[in-house]
Amino acid sequence: LSAGGALVPEEFAQEVIAKMGDLTPLATKEFLRVMPMKSDTLRVPYLKTLPVAVYGTESTEPTGQTEPAWGNIELIAREALMIVPVSEQMIDDASVEMIGYMTDLFAEALARLRNLKLLLGSGSSEPEGVITNAAVTTNAYDTTNSGTKFRSVLRCYHAVKAAYRAGAIWLMSDIAQETLSGVLDSNNQPLLTQLMDEPFMRLRGKPVFITEAIGTATPTKAVFGNWKFVVFGDRMTMQAKTDNGGDSFRKREVQVRVIERYDAKVAQAEAFNVMTGIQ
């Protein structure tokens, strides 16, 4: 400023050009069976074996009937969170409402984590994923020719009983969708279809949703099933808080924290099938 000029502060633009994250079909929980948790542990009864009735005669105890068998799913609230510092200068100078924007951004990060773990979670200190559940059946994608590819999809579809298929969806990587887009059915028509007013494609009439949580390399997988048979224990929906005390005060920062607590496990493995080796 020795020449007598004036200091003009920098300004921030009116919007943020955001990096696009992975789509999260399970982010809204609309496909899940959500159960409120009033404590850190919730036990959910589930039916392992259906009862079977028989015919009998008067004054004779029936034989051959099968009684129902029960089990319990134990859900333990797991904590998913992010704590990120944001400079006060950025908050003050930005034309957009940065705290609200950052809260939404971190909420999306939690949603991506939830999406990942509901597919691939170990079940130990984190939710149990459908793909990693040992009881969920798998079906190998046969790449020999168009006929075997078509039949592989049919096997995956029909591996899930009709009662579950009523609310079933497909989850797959973009690579899997690209591969299956080239497969023809027995009438020489594309296996994947799309209605004019729908943002997603359909496979055997069921919606197809894309997620890179399954993986971005080939061979890849596709999951078909009814997510209402994954039980989701909701202990605490996402909460956001800010704090500028302690070291943050001296550094002129605001700590933004988002946190949610939940657990999830597969209640009926037969409601799902995983098609492997898609390439």
Long-range contacts of 62-70 (CB under 8 A, 24+ apart): 70/45, 70/46
- pLDDT bin (cut points 50, 70, 90) of residue 90 is confident
Here the tokens at position 232 are 């989701």
In the prediction, which pLDDT does 23 show? 81
Q: Looking at 6-15, 16-25, 199-208, which range is the least confident one?
A: 6-15
**Residue 1 pLDDT > 60:** no
**Residue 3 pLDDT > 70:** no
Q: How many residues does the chain have?
A: 279
In the prediction, which pLDDT does 2 show? 56
In the prediction, which pLDDT does 195 show? 84
In the prediction, which pLDDT does 5 show? 60
Question: What are 106-121's pLDDT values in tens digits?
Answer: 999 999 999 999 999 9
- pLDDT bin (cut points 50, 70, 90) of residue 61 is confident
Here the tokens at position 68 are 């129902």
In the prediction, which pLDDT does 4 show? 59
In the prediction, which pLDDT does 16 show? 81
In the prediction, which pLDDT does 134 show? 96
Question: What are 199-258's pLDDT values in tens digits?
Answer: 899 999 999 999 999 988 999 999 999 999 999 999 999 999 999 998 999 899 999 999
- pLDDT mean across residues, the chain: 91
